[in-house]
Each structure stands twice: as structure tokens, then as C-alpha cells.
Amino acid sequence: MTPAIGVFDSGFGGLTVLRALLERLPGARYSFLGDTARLPYGSKSRRTIARYAAQSARFLVDEQGAEFLVIACNTASALALDAIQDAVSVPVLGVIEPGAEAARAASTSGDVLVIATDATVQSHAYAAACRARGLRALEKACPLLVPLVEEGWTGHPVTDEIVNIYLGELRAEAAARGMRADTLVLGCTHYPLLREVFERSVRPGVKVIDSAESTAQAAARFFPGETHDPGAGHAPEAGPATEIRCFATDSVEKFERLGSRFLGRSVGAVELIDLGG
């Protein structure tokens, strides 16, 4: 039976997670919802994020028949995973635990840095997930990065400079606390698009972790018969049976134009839906 997987994000940044899922589970049927009308989630309260995310999850399960949900949005995973689990009756996987797990595997010093939206940082969900794995995490909000990526400024010198400033501040704070951080977790859907900038900006030897890949690995464990190992030679970007439908609550044209950058292939025709207020 072809698994039906729903992938949710506040916008289309979560397509980086869908991209990783396609490599691991190429034979699944995917519905992706970007709540573009209400993006950004990263500057909103827990209550509002929980309401929006629960509505979105219900759409994917009740109307698209998803039997498994991947919450690609770090902010929704950090603040609303319980609300989403209460709203639907299918298994729900967020990105925080897989991201922390990848940090644990990467770090030898036990000290990690996490960058994310304001709401994610304020929730300290990454710090808690890291602490549960014996890691010490220092988190920093980088609120200017989502709008820059949304604007398509991924190769822009202004973006590079802002990344350098954020990481410089984070390094200084880590040093003041006596941390020897050897891992940087990209705790936001949009940051993998700036991965090269981060890699240039961090100290040599610091590993940059993108939770998309570890989330796809965790999702694949739910579907053992369907899994493809991307390291094992031929990589089906999408199997013959792969079906992807993308939905957005606004800005369909922008989603179609910029979404391919996140997905690494065309997103096709994006369907506009209305989830109410």
C-alpha cells in the first residue's frame, strides 16, 4: 500500500524536508501544506501557533487522507506538537527531536549551538531535547533570516553579513559561558538554503546540522518496507509512483516560483485553500 504522508510548514521552507523525504521514501504519496497566509509563525504566540497548526494538520488528515504527518516547521514542532497530536489521530513527527538526535551524533564536545526563530528559541525546545541527550545547547534567534530567504536573497552579500553578525554574537556568548561548541543546528526550515553561508562563517571543524535529513530518516523508520537509502547508489528523486500535491493558504504564485529552490525540482501547480481565520 502506498503510504500517504502529509507535510506541514508555515510556508514553503518546509519543502527542504519534503525533498529529504522524497529521497528516503520515494514511493509515498505526499500532500504538502504551506500556511503562507499566516507566515511567519516564528514571531507569534504559542496559542496562535497551536491554533493555526492544528487547523492545518486537520486539513492534511481529514481532507487529504494523510496517515502520517511530518511537521517540517521548527516553530510549530517546538510550540504546538501536543496541540497537533490532540487534533489528529495519526502519528505525528516533528523536527526538533530528530535535529537534537543528529546533534548528539555529530558533537564530540557535547556543546552545541542552535539558531532558530524567536518563538522556537523562547520555547527552549531544542535546549530541552539536547539536554535530554546529555548536550549543552546555546540558542539564538535570527529573525532577519526568514524574510531574506523569502525574498530570494540567498546569495546576497547583505545576507552573508547578517549571518556573520549573528554567528559572531553567538560565538562570543558561547565563549563567555566557557562552551566549546563543535556543532551548529539549523533550527528553522529556511536556514538550509543558507547552508553554504553558515559553513563559511563557522570555525573550521564545526559541523552544520540540517534537521531535514534526520527527520526524513526518522520518518522512514515508520515505513520500513518503503525505505530507500540515498547513500546506496542510484537516487530516485521521485519514484514512478510518487505523487506530490502542494497546497498554500496564500501567495500561490510565489510558492510556485520560489518553492522549486527549496524542493530542488518543480513544485507543479500549487492549490489555494482557505483554512479560515
Q: Which residues are catalytic?
A: 73, 188
Q: How far is the CB of 47 from ligand DGL (least distance, A)?
A: 15
What Rg, from alpha-carbon coordinates, does the chain have? 18
Q: At what angle do helices 74-87 and 46-58 cross, to 10 degrees?
A: 60
Residue 13 binds to ligand DGL (criterion: CB under 6 A)? yes
| Phi, psi dihedral angles at 272 (to 5 degrees) | -85, 130
Q: Which is nearer to ligand DGL, 17 or 179 (CB)?
A: 17
Residue 75 binds to ligand DGL (criterion: CB under 6 A)? yes
Residue 53 binds to ligand DGL (criterion: CB under 6 A)? no
Residue selected from 41, 52, 68, 262 as contacting ligand DGL according to rule CB under 6 A: 41
Residue selected from 4, 10, 27, 115 as contacting ligand DGL according to rule CB under 6 A: 10
In angstroms, how far apart are the furthest CA atoms of the chain? 54
Q: Which is nearer to ligand DGL, 162 or 179 (CB)?
A: 162
Residue selected from 31, 55, 56, 120 as contacting ligand DGL according to rule CB under 6 A: 120
C-alpha cell read off for 111: 556543546
Q: How far is the CB of 13 from ligand DGL (least distance, A)?
A: 5
Residue 27 binds to ligand DGL (criterion: CB under 6 A)? no
Q: Spell out the residues 6+ positions from residue 185 whose beta carbon is closer than 8 angstroms to its own.
A: 99, 100, 102, 103, 112, 113, 114, 115, 126, 137, 209, 211
Stretch of 7-15, 16-24, 131-139, 203-211 lying at the interface with ligand DGL (CB under 6 A): 7-15
Stretch of 61-69, 183-191, 200-208, 243-251 lying at the interface with ligand DGL (CB under 6 A): 183-191
Integer Cα distance of 273 and 33 in angstroms: 9
Burial (Cβ within 10 Å: 0-12, 13-18, ≥19) of residue 33? buried
Q: How far is the CB of 82 from ligand DGL (least distance, A)?
A: 17
Residue 9 binds to ligand DGL (criterion: CB under 6 A)? yes
Stretch of 70-78, 106-114, 221-229, 258-266 lying at the interface with ligand DGL (CB under 6 A): 70-78
Residue 11 binds to ligand DGL (criterion: CB under 6 A)? yes
The CA-atom distances, in angstroms, between 111 and each of 98, 131, 185, 215, 246 are 17, 10, 11, 21, 38
Residue 73 binds to ligand DGL (criterion: CB under 6 A)? yes
The number of residues in the chain equals 277
Residue selected from 22, 146, 174, 193 as contacting ligand DGL according to rule CB under 6 A: 146
Integer Cα distance of 108 and 69 in angstroms: 32
Q: How far is the CB of 73 from ligand DGL (least distance, A)?
A: 4
Residue selected from 20, 28, 33, 39 as contacting ligand DGL according to rule CB under 6 A: 39
Partners of 114 in beta bridges = 139, 185
Residues that bind ligand DGL (CB under 6 A): 9-11, 13, 39-42, 73-75, 117, 120, 146, 188-190
